[in-house]
Amino acid sequence: MHYLDHAATTPVPRPVAERMCEVLTEQYGNPSSQYPLGLQAARLVADCRAVVAAALGCKAESLVFTSCGTESDNWAIRAALWHGRRAGKHIISTAVEHSAVREPLRALALEGCEVTFLKPDSRGRITARQVFDALREDTVLVSLMLVNNETGCVFPVEEVARGLRERKSAALFHCDAVQGFLKVPCAPAAWGVDLMSFSAHKLGGPKGIGALYVNPSLKNLRPLMLGGGQEQGLRPGTEATAQIAGFARAVELRQENLAEKLSRMAALKACCLERLLTIPGMERVGDGEAPHILCLSLPGYPSANIVTDLGQQGVCISAGSACHKGKASHVFTAMGLSKRTAAGAFRVSFGPETTEEDVDALYEALKNHQANRFPML
Ligand code: PLP
């Protein structure tokens, strides 16, 4: 099998799984319990928080564990609206956010908020100037992702954070960094971002664990759920200790020779692009510079068929995001791609485990697909 869908999820390296197994079977205490097993679990959570925070260059207290990137996004958005409830109801975001941001924003629009969805250019890019031009007195939230999950475009998060500060905007700045963490520079504290979302399963960690960075200047952030006092009273629910341990172990492993891993991924991406563009009709979609995501299109060959056929040939890729299951991607629509290009678009994504053989297999499988299917007009 050739797995080229690391933006959907990643394999869990054995040391991560082993660490989780150890926690599940031996260090299974509840971090709130007061006897040694519980205290050990509380220490484990604190140590893991410190590991993830160090990778982000922020204080451990600024990081709250959640169940996934989707929860972090939903929470950040709802909390920001509550925080700015007396200042207004205007939100700025983009038309290419992941559904974990887009859907809560659409729900808020139905509840009376006004949302400006900035459109990307045809290459998938968003500029800081677009954000600043949309800014108003009553803007209470700006939500901008770090790396787009379909095109791999990197958005100017640091520049937006600086510009919002210079303009003395009262709006909170949230960034969905699920695809960016440990792939591109990501420094919420140094950049002055208010809220930033993360997910472990995009970097070799288990599914079902995420985190939200909360700027220490934000006092009394409203929790999304109500319950026990875990996570500084911000996120109730017994801490998922094994997942948390897996998250931290995955971060440690990724950080080993990270620069080398990233440049290998970028080199494989470049080689893959060059190779696939020799297939007649193949087009690149967007010019994402993230090292792990490459978006292409074979107009006339519907991406759902490409993905299924390649899957049968043992090559795993996806049609844009793994999350929209067959529906036309809002990202490609927002970029103004032609219907044919959008319909034939697919995403190839790389991880530290990806090899040249995987790229060779992808190339051969696409050639087979083209040879065995009649193109649609
Ligand atoms: N945000 C982005 C950009 C993503 O790519 C994803 C997952 O694909 C998410 C949020 C959701 O993360 P999770 O699967 O942890 O809920």
| DSSP calls for 184-235 | S---HHHHT-SEEEEEGGGTTS-SS-EEEEE-TT--SPPPSS-SS-TGGGTS
| Ligand 1: centre distance to CA 69 (Å) | 5
Q: What superfamily does domain 2-10+257-372 belong to in CATH?
A: Aspartate Aminotransferase, domain 1 (3.90.1150.10)
Q: Are 68 and 223 in contact (CB under 8 A)?
A: no
Angle between helices 258-276 and 241-255 (to 10 degrees): 80
Q: Are 345 and 303 in contact (CB under 8 A)?
A: yes
Res. 109: pLDDT tops 80: yes
The pLDDT tens digits of the residues spanning 333-343 come to: 999 999 999 99
Amino acid at 321: S
Token readout for 41 is: 């679990």
Q: Are 90 and 139 in contact (CB under 8 A)?
A: yes
The burial of 68, by beta-carbon neighbours within 10 Å (0-12 exposed, 13-18 middle, 19 or more buried), is given as: buried
What is the C-alpha separation between 169 and 185, in angstroms, rounded?
24
Q: Are 207 and 201 in contact (CB under 8 A)?
A: yes
The distance of Cα 124 from the centroid of its chain, to the nearest Å, equals: 16
Res. 326: pLDDT tops 90: no
Q: Are 321 and 370 in contact (CB under 8 A)?
A: no
* Threshold 0.95, pTM exceeds: yes
Report the pLDDT averaged over residues 91-110.
98
How close are the terminal C-alpha atoms of the chain, in Å?
Answer: 32
Cα–Cα distances in angstroms (integers) from residue 358 to residues 3, 28, 260, 350, in the given order:
7, 39, 19, 10
55 phi, psi to nearest 5 deg = -65, -20
**Which residue has a Cα nearest atom 13 of ligand 1?**
69
Position 374 scores a pLDDT of: 80
The pLDDT tens digits of the residues spanning 4-14 come to: 999 999 999 99
Atom of ligand 1 nearest to the CA of 9: 8
**Residue 320: strand, helix, or coil:** coil
Strand pairing of 90-94 and 114-118? parallel
The tokens 């087009």 sit on which residue? 283
**Which residue has a Cα nearest atom 5 of ligand 1?**
149
Band of residue 321 on the pLDDT scale cut at 50, 70, 90: low
Segment holding 280, helix H or strand E? none
**R_g of the chain computed on alpha carbons:** 21
Band of residue 373 on the pLDDT scale cut at 50, 70, 90: confident
Q: Best of 5, 9, 70, 347 to mutate for ligand 1, by most ligand atoms within 8 A of CB? A: 70
Position 324 scores a pLDDT of: 53
Domain parsing of the chain, residue ranges = 2-10+257-372, 14-255
Res. 88: pLDDT tops 70: yes
The tokens 């700025």 sit on which residue? 92
The pLDDT tens digits of the residues spanning 112-167 come to: 999 999 999 999 999 999 999 999 999 999 999 999 999 999 999 999 999 999 99
**Residue 326: strand, helix, or coil:** coil
What is the C-alpha separation between 302 and 298, in angstroms, rounded?
8
Would you report the helix, strand and coil content of the chain in percent, each value rounded to 5?
Answer: 45, 15, 45
The pLDDT tens digits of the residues spanning 238-268 come to: 999 999 999 999 999 999 999 999 999 999 9
The binding-site residues of ligand 1, defined as CB within 6 angstroms of any ligand atom, are 68-70, 73, 98, 100, 145, 149, 176, 178-179, 199, 210, 323
Query: Cβ of 228: how many Cβ atoms within 10 Å?
Result: 12
Say whether 323 is catalytic: yes
Q: Best of 126, 149, 150, 203 to mutate for ligand 1, by most ligand atoms within 8 A of CB? A: 149
Amino acid at 332: F
**CATH: 3.50.50.60, 3.80.30.20, 3.40.640.10, 3.40.50.1220. Which one for 14-255?**
3.40.640.10
Report the pLDDT averaged over residues 20-46.
98
Cα–Cα distances in angstroms (integers) from residue 197 to residues 176, 240, 370, 377, in the given order:
5, 17, 39, 41
Q: Are 212 and 195 in contact (CB under 8 A)?
A: yes
Residue 315 bridge partners (DSSP): 2
What is the C-alpha separation between 151 and 296, in angstroms, rounded?
9
Query: Cβ of 69: how many Cβ atoms within 10 Å?
Result: 26
Amino acid at 83: H
User: Which string of b and e fits 103-135 if b means at least 16 CB within 10 Å?
Assistant: ebbeebeeeebebbbbebeeebbbebebbbebb
Strands (E), 243-297: 283-284, 293-297
